[in-house]
Amino acid sequence: MKIADFAHRDPSPGLPSRRWRAGTTLAQWILVALVVGVGFPALANPFLGSRYPAPQPNPTWIEPGEPIPVEGVGWTPVRIKLENSEARVRRSWHNLATAQILLTHARVRRYPRGEPFFKIRDRVIFLESERTASETQFLELVQQARRGGMPAGTLSPFMDFSAEIERDRKLRASAVDAYVEP
């Protein structure tokens, strides 16, 4: 047997071989995949935004501002008390969220440790009680105004906010129940 007998023979000498055509097709598909895979996201990036999240600003505390002075006649002092109480509730929500973020960061990073960590935890506990007290005070003021006959148009935004407080309390209670009872 001669070596020439085992050599690859092209069945159609006038056309390119199958091996060459398959290699070219594979190279074309790889080239298309690279162009689409690399080029398309680069072109679409201005429309889709960055893959990296935007940096989050540091959490801030809201210090109590000057309450609106309670003066006037009729429903004006009641409305002002409700506005001051609503501001106190919103401030307590914000400060509690800030403290919880700081506590979460401290737990994840495991820094600070010891007394500074306990100060953060104690502040969260204090702010939770402050939130509860401010919400309860606001709800009581709204009920007093409603029973006192405050006009519905004046009382409506405060009733909406009290409904928001009630929904938030129910969500917190259901989350605690789901966490406690496995």
Least confident of 17-26, 96-105, 170-179: 17-26
Please list the alpha-helical segments (H only) found in the chain: 3-6, 18-34, 40-48, 76-109, 115-148, 152-180
Q: How many CA atoms lie within 13 A of 77 on its CB side?
A: 7
Same domain, 81 and 149: yes
- Look at residue 10 in the predicted model and tell me its pLDDT: 55
- Higher-scoring residue by pLDDT: 48, 65: 65
Angle (CA) 96-142-92 rounded to 5° is 10
Residue 134 has what pLDDT? 97
Averaged pLDDT, 2-31: 60
Instruction: Give me the pLDDT at residue 69, please.
Output: 84
Instruction: Please classify residue 130 by burial: count the beta carbons closer than 10 Å to its beta carbon, then call 0-12 exposed, 13-18 middle and 19+ buried.
Output: middle
Report the 10 Å Cβ neighbour count for 134.
Answer: 20
**98 CB-side CA count, 13 A:** 17
Query: Are 92 and 163 members of one domain?
Result: yes
Query: Would 54 be classed as within a structural domain?
Result: no
Burial class (CB in 10 A: 0-12, 13-18, 19+), 79: buried
Q: Looking at the structure, tell me whether residues 40 and 105 fall in a common domain.
A: no
Residues 40 and 110 in one domain: no
Output the CA torsion sign for 176, 178, 181, 182: negative
Collapsing DSSP to helix, strand or coil, 59 comes out as coil
AA identity, residue 138: F
Domain that holds residue 132: 76-180
Confidence of residue 122 (pLDDT cuts 50, 70, 90): very high
Co-location of 22 and 100 in the same domain = no
> Are residues 112 and 170 both part of a single domain?
yes
Find, among 138, 140, 106, 109, the residue nearest to 124 by Cα.
Answer: 106
| Structural domain count, the chain | 2
| Average of per-residue pLDDT values in the chain | 82
Please indicate, yes or no, whether residues 87 and 171 belong to a single structural domain of this protein.
yes
